[in-house]
Structure 1
Amino acid sequence: MKYLIVGLGNIGPEYANTRHNIGFMVADHLAKENGASFTMDRLAYVTDFKHKGRSITVIKPTTFMNLSGKALKYWANQLKIKAENILVIVDDLALPYTTLRMKGKGGAAGHNGLKDIEAQLQSSAYPRLRFGIGDNYSKGKQVDFVLGEFSEDEKIDLDTLIEKSAEMSLSFCSIGLARTMNQYNK
């Protein structure tokens, strides 16, 4: 069984610790915890490891957020991984901070990374792990908020949330979407 985990984010040090890069942060944690390291490859930083008999490839697209689908599609085709074995890790303004929610499908909800993935896959039926970042910003300041770093208060829970997101990602690969949703979605 092969799985593809796609952490969404933007490349470059100016984006490294921003809310929009939570997918990269979770991907980095997964690699570290499984003794793997990323190498630069076509359209993404890529690593792979085994977990409970599963082959897991983790990518961090280098296409920038708005073209994330291009990297996902390339690697899914290259590795012959079907949509139901792909997990996209994404920041979500619609969920309060500290909320983690796995879903089997859904709309892009204005998220440009998800919009591009939908366009590339010609479907919104792919699993995703939504990492709630909340919507604590003033009118017209959404871009500044998502491209801003987590506040000092948010950083208190951040490592635990990243760890739990990684745990949920591995659970998705080992026991499947439905059981992972039942176990973790509150």
Structure 2
Amino acid sequence: MYIIAGLGNPGKQYEGTRHNIGFAVIDELADAYNINMDMAKHKGICGKGMIGSNKVLLVKPQTFMNNSGECLREVLDYYKEDVDNVLVIYDDICLDVGRLRLRPKGSAGGHNGIKSIIAHLGTEEFSRIRVGVGDKPKNYDLADWVLGHFPKEQLDDVRAGIDKAVKAVPVVLDRGIEEGMNEFNAK
């Protein structure tokens, strides 16, 4: 079974923020593949289903971004899954709004949610889909930026990025992260 985790923060006040784009992708995957996100367990909201011929568990950690690894560790331990079957979807301020960057592994790159996952899983070797949310303006606080909402003029690009991420997931599951990188990485 594949564990697909979208990162974000729980609570209405964080809906639609840059940091919650991982949650938005999970919501769209759930809708596209008729997966009920109806299980509150492992410090997350989860839903089991199928994406093509692949069994999946969609996960939205409810630990707040900086502790996302707690949820993923519990999920992997409970289902006895290997980190090779993990795909994490999250925001990236180094990419233009709506652009994707898929990777088979890597450092946290300053992202606290990924730092937590690396610490709890004990490895950097898990696949990820990074969704661009745009760089913060000069002299702007990073926390304020990632917890802020997208301006109206960027909503089409945000929607396009979410849609591309949803399309990238079955490619990664069926054909591997390398194929996904070839097809979806920002040029």
TM-score bucket of the superposed structures, by smaller chain: over 0.9
| Cα deviation, residue 109, structure 1 | 1.2
**How do residues 28-177 of structure 1 correspond to structure 2 at under 5 angstroms?**
28-39=27-38, 40-177=40-177
Percent identity for Structure 1 against Structure 2 = 36
Query: What is the identity, as a one-letter code, of the residue corresponding to 1:112?
Result: N
Structure 2 CA distance for partners of 1:183 and 1:140, relative to 1, 3 Å: closer
Q: What is the root-mean-square deviation in Å for CA atoms of aligned residues?
A: 1.2
CA distance in 2, matches of 1:151, 1:140: 16
Report the Cα distance in structure 1 between the residues aligned to 2:35 and 2:51, rounded to whole angstroms.
Answer: 12
Distance 1:140 1:28 in 2: 29
Instruction: Report the alpha carbon displacement of residue 136 of structure 1 after superposing the two structures with TM.
Output: 3.4
For the residues of structure 2 that align with 1:173 and 1:60, how far apart are their CA atoms? 19
Q: Which letter maps to 1:91?
A: D
Distance 1:121 1:183 in 2: 28
1:21 counterpart residue number: 20
2: distance between equivalents of 1:70 and 1:157? 31
Which residue number in structure 1 is paired with residue 182 of structure 2?
182
1:45 is paired with a residue whose SS is strand
CA distance in 1, matches of 2:147, 2:98: 18
* SS of the residue 1:182 aligns to: helix
User: Is the alpha carbon distance of 1:51 and 1:140 closer, same or farther for their aligned partners in structure 2, counting shifts above 3 Å?
Assistant: closer
Give the C-alpha shift of residue 82 in structure 1: 1.4
Give the paired residue count: 185
Q: Give 1:51 shift.
A: 2.2
Stretches of structure 1 that go unaligned for 5 or more consecutive residues are none
1:22-79 per-residue CA deviation (whole Å, 9 max, x = no partner) reads 0000000000111122122230000011122210110000111011001011112212
The normalised TM-score by structure 1 is 0.95
**Inter-partner Cα distance in structure 1 for 2:35 and 2:84:** 24
**Deviation, structure 1 residue 138:** 3.1
2:164 touches 2:184 (CA, 8 Å); kept in 1? no
The amino acid of 2:67's aligned partner reads L
In structure 2, relative to structure 1, the CA distance for the partners of 1:137 and 1:61 (3 Å cut) is same
Per-residue CA shift, 1:99-155, capped at 9, x if unaligned?
A: 201001111111110000010111111111011111132314211110001111110
Mapped partners of 2:36, 2:178: distance in 1:
29
What whole-Å deviation, never above 9, does each CA across 1:153-176 have from its counterpart, x for those lacking one? 110222221111011112111111
